[in-house]
Every structure is written in structure tokens, then in C-alpha cells.
Amino acid sequence: MHMKISRKSFFKIVAAGAAGATLAPGPSRAFAATPSKSQKAAITGTTDALTAFITTTTLASMPADVVAQAKRCLVDGFGVILAGSTVKGSAIVRDYVRTVGARKEATAVGTGGFMTSASHAALINAANGHAMDYDDTQLSTTPDRTFGLLTHPTVPALAAALAVAERRRASGAGFLEAFLVGFEVECKIAEAIDPDHYNHGFHSTGTIGTFGAAAAAAKLMRLPPAQVRHMLTIASSMSSGIRVNFGSMTKPLHSARAAENGIIAAELASRGFTGGDDGLDGQWGFFQVFGGGVDLDRLIPVLGKPYTMVNPGSSFKPYPCGSLSHPTMDAMLKAVTDHDIKPDQIKAVRVRAGSNVLDPLRYKIATNELEAKFCLPFLMASLLIRRKAGVREFTDEFVASAPVQQMMPRVTNVFDPAIEARGFDKIRSSVEIDLIDGRAIVQAADERYRGGPDKPFTRAELHDKFVDCAQLTLSPARTARALEQIEGVERLKDISELILSLRTL
């Protein structure tokens, strides 16, 4: 039996079962009495369900559309890893690893790449992958799960799978299989945990990405079920990342540590290291401690049925910044180009949105490129001044420039109760522009996220993004070769063939 345990009811059901108590009825509670034997079994079934999925799922069993979408995720993921290897924070992570990493098992790709231990390679590559905030975002399925704020699912699973696959000289098919398993585990946990997990300040890419990375590593290491169970519990204690670090170098570190810690959890379990029973379930398990409950119907019966990768899918970012700004940015770009608006015509700009957009994009005035990624006034200013906001706009120099600093104070964020009341399953906003000549222009954001399943990138657009990212570190010939190998990854006899193309000379 699978059942739904909504939010705070999870703890109360478990506590009541342990004490033999009876819960008073209430509108938000899933049950009104002591849970039955079958209900208790369902409460403590998550660890078993994930263990079975990780240990038995094969690439051959996965639908063709899932495999095809996985390759699109890899194209996007490897692209942002290469681009992110060029930023200052990534260089600091590399410098740290050079001082502590002795073994040469796996490759840190992109700028400044070198070989180190598998866990440290994963740390570097995942830091690179989230450094520009250009990596994909998991979609939500209901209004209480905020669009774009579940996880950035590709990078932790990709970085962990790549490092372990290289160390084990795994085939491209083995790497792809592990990546898909990790991606699915990560997304289903993120969808199932109570939304309070994110709303109260955890950054899911760091916390839940750890499980995706661990699952990918375990798949490649062929851990038996008993060790996978311990691994999940170990990962539960290594899970971390809080949202106060948005707009700083530590936000990408969340993804980096998720990838590294996932491998460490698998490594420890493989050596006989133990964790408590049912690390995800029960009163002291991950779901209760980190989120206040879980909706089991979103996890146990739907692992791979369907794969989150295709339903509801994930979104590829059109801009290297917080995803919740992107529809607003598209709306501003449309207004600027449709009306040929020049910067010196701007009197004032108002961005109307709900708390799901305004709270995470919390900087009123950006002072550097990291803050700029979560600053609506900067994002609007960039589009007004340059009519674009790409990797070359997110620099400290452009953020600090006089035109940008003078434009940002003209942009105001406005909380809109009507937009708030419509829920958070879509990114809803509108832009109001007052011109000096007295004209007022209003442009609503398109709720179909550009880069998402409702408005997906074409193959050519996805390739263009990869090339734009890769050209920061690879030659055109190596870029083309890497793209060809990613799209045919399951045919590679050794994943090292791809890694060689991704290394800078």
C-alpha cells in the first residue's frame, strides 16, 4: 500500500504510532488514528524502494525518449561545466583540490583541468557546472511545488557519474545508465519532500543532489542492496546547503559538495561503513528532519513510472542566472525590441511578481556579477542597455559600470497579490515601463518557460548554447568532437574518449 502523508502529518503519524496514541482529527492530517500495520510499512518503505530502483534498473529498460532527453541534458550540462570552469570561484576550488588531492583517478575538465581523486574531480566539475547558474532546473507538477526551485538536477549526478566512470574505465553506456538513475532518484526525492524543505531555506540542489550523486556512483560501483541502504543513510547525514548563499561563490559549492559527498557516501558504504536503518524514513529520517514530511505517492510508486526527465521534464536555461527571472527577462527583451526602447528613454520600470520570484531574487542593487544573477534591477538594466544578458554581461566590470549602476535604481520590484494567488507551478510576472515622453508599456511574461517542455530549445539552439559555453575553453574542432561524442555517448567503449575531448591542452 502506498499512501500520501502531507506535510506536518508525517511526524505526527510516526510519533503516534510509536506511542500508541490517537491523533485528534484535523483538516490537514492524513490520518485520524494510530496507523495500521500496512500504513507503518508504507511510512518506512522509501529506502527500500530507492535501493531496489538503484540496484535493478538498467539502460536497456529505459524508454527511448528518456535516453534521448538524457543526451540533451548532457549537452547542456557539459556545456555549462566548461563555461563555469573559467570563473574565479571555480579557480579557487581547483586551487584547494591541488593542495589536498594526491590520487589521479579522474579528470577536472575545462580551464585549468588536471587529474585528481574521483571525489575531488566531481567536486570541481560540479562547482564548474553551477558556477554561472546556467544549468538546468527541475519542473514542478503542482502549484505548491515552486517551478524551478526543486533542484538543478543534471550537474550533481553528471559530475559524480563522470568521475566514477572514468576511474572504473566504464563504457559510455554505463556512464549514461548511472547518470539516468541518479537524475531520477534526485528528482523524485525533490518532488516528494514537503515544500517547506526549500521554503524554509534549504537549497535542494545541495541537499537532494547528494542522493542523485550517490545513486549514480553506486550504480557504477555495483553496490549490493545492503550497502546501498547504508549509503542512502550516510548521504542523509552529508546533505547540506542553505539559500543564504545565493549570490555568492558558496551557491555553486552546494552542487559541488553534493557530487563529492555522494561519491564519498558510496565509497564508505562499499568498505562496510554503516548508517542507521531507513535513513530516509521515520521520525529521525531525512524527510522528517529536513522537510517536515513527505508525499509518498510522489516517490515510491512512480520511480521510473514515468521518468521525471520526460514527465514533467526539466528546463534548459536561456540566461546564466536565477531561472525565476527568465520569463521576466524575455518580457523585457520583447518590450525593448518591439518598441525600440533606448536606455535614455527610461523613467521607471516596475516588475510585478509573487513571492516565489521576488524572494529568491533578493538583491535590490547588485555590486558584483554573483549578486547580479539574483538581482532583477540588474537583469532589467542589462537588457535595456545591451539587449542581452549572456556570459559576457555577467562580469564585475559590467555590473559596476556607470550605465548599469545608474539604471538599476529606476527598477522597482512590486509584490502582486493577484499573481501570488495563482500559485507557483508557473513563473508569472509582468513588466511595466514608464518612458520619459509619457508613454507606458506593459508586457506580461509568457508562462511557457523558454527552454522548458512547453517551449523547448530546438536541437540547433541547444547546440548553440553548448558552443557558446565551450568556446571559452575549447577550440572549435574539439568543441565539435565533444558534441558529437556526447550525442553518441552510449556507443563509446570507454568514457575517457569523451573526457579527452573535454580537456584543455
Q: Is residue 24 part of a domain?
A: no
Handedness of CA 69, 72, 78, 80 (dihedral sign): negative
**Res 147: pLDDT:** 65
Rounded to whole angstroms, how far apart are CA atoms 408 and 412? 9
**Residue 279 sits in the same domain as residue 389:** no
Rounded to whole angstroms, how far apart are CA atoms 402 and 148? 32
222: phi then psi, degrees, rounded to nearest 5: 55, 45
**Res 149: pLDDT:** 62
Residue with cell string 500559485:
423
CB 370 within 8 A of CB 248: yes
CB 122 within 8 A of CB 259: yes
Q: What is the pLDDT along the chain (505 residues), one digit of tens a residue?
A: 334 444 444 333 333 333 333 333 232 223 222 333 333 334 448 999 999 999 999 999 999 999 999 999 999 999 999 999 999 999 999 999 988 867 899 999 999 889 999 999 999 999 999 999 999 999 887 777 766 568 999 999 999 999 999 999 999 999 999 999 999 999 999 999 998 998 899 999 999 999 999 999 999 999 999 999 999 999 999 999 999 999 899 999 999 999 999 999 999 999 999 999 889 988 899 999 998 899 999 999 999 999 999 999 999 999 999 889 999 999 999 999 999 999 999 999 999 999 989 998 999 999 999 999 999 999 999 999 999 999 889 999 999 999 999 999 999 999 999 999 998 878 999 999 999 999 999 999 998 999 999 999 999 999 999 999 999 999 999 999 999 999 999 999 999 999 999 987 5
The CATH number given to whatever domain includes residue 328 is: 3.30.1330.120
**Residue 245 sits in the same domain as residue 369:** no
**Residue 431 sits in the same domain as residue 337:** yes
Rounded to whole angstroms, how far apart are CA atoms 152 and 133? 9
**Res 331: pLDDT:** 98
Q: Is residue 504 part of a domain?
A: no
The CATH number given to whatever domain includes residue 89 is: 1.10.4100.10
Rounded to whole angstroms, how far apart are CA atoms 412 and 432? 10
* Domain count of the fold of the chain: 2
Q: Is residue 6 part of a domain?
A: no
**Residue 150 sits in the same domain as residue 283:** yes
Q: Is residue 29 part of a domain?
A: no
**Residue 55 sits in the same domain as residue 130:** yes
Q: Is residue 505 part of a domain?
A: no
**Res 150: pLDDT:** 81
Q: Which residues contact 342 (CB under 8 A, 6 or more apart)?
A: none
CB 59 within 8 A of CB 176: yes
**Residue 85 sits in the same domain as residue 175:** yes
Question: What CA–CA distances, in Å, run from 138 to 149, 168, 191, 376, 453?
Answer: 7, 29, 9, 21, 11
**Residue 78 sits in the same domain as residue 129:** yes
Rounded to whole angstroms, how far apart are CA atoms 101 and 349? 50
C-alpha torsion 413→419→420→423, nearest 10 = -130
**Residue 419 sits in the same domain as residue 486:** no
- Count, residues in the chain: 505
**Residue 248 sits in the same domain as residue 381:** no
**Residue 129 sits in the same domain as residue 226:** yes
414: phi then psi, degrees, rounded to nearest 5: -125, 120
Question: What CA–CA distances, in Å, run from 296 to 14, 54, 228, 281, 414?
Answer: 14, 18, 20, 10, 37
Q: Give the tens place of pLDDT for each residue, 179-206.
A: 999 999 999 999 999 989 988 999 999 9
- Indicate the residue type of 310: V
Q: What is the 3-state secondary structure (H, E, C) of 176-238?
A: HHHHHHHHHHHHHHHHHECCHHHHCCECHHHHCHHHHHHHHHHHHHCCCHHHHHHHHHHHHHH
| Domain extent for 372 | 323-444
Question: What CA–CA distances, in Å, run from 488 to 69, 75, 322, 468, 493?
Answer: 13, 11, 30, 20, 11
Residue with cell string 514527465:
311
**Residue 230 sits in the same domain as residue 84:** yes
Q: Is residue 214 part of a domain?
A: yes
- Cβ neighbour number for residue 110 with a 10 Å cutoff: 27
Q: Is residue 176 part of a domain?
A: yes
Query: How does 350-363 read in b/e, with b if 16+ C-beta sit within 10 Å?
Result: bbbbbebbbebbbb
415 three-class SS: strand
- Indicate the residue type of 82: L
- The residue ranges of DSSP E strands in 68-131, in sequence order, are 106-107, 115-116
Handedness of CA 21, 25, 26, 32 (dihedral sign): positive
**Res 19: pLDDT:** 35
388 three-class SS: coil
- Cβ neighbour number for residue 105 with a 10 Å cutoff: 17
24 three-class SS: coil
**Residue 289 sits in the same domain as residue 376:** no
Handedness of CA 200, 202, 205, 207 (dihedral sign): negative
Q: Is residue 477 part of a domain?
A: no
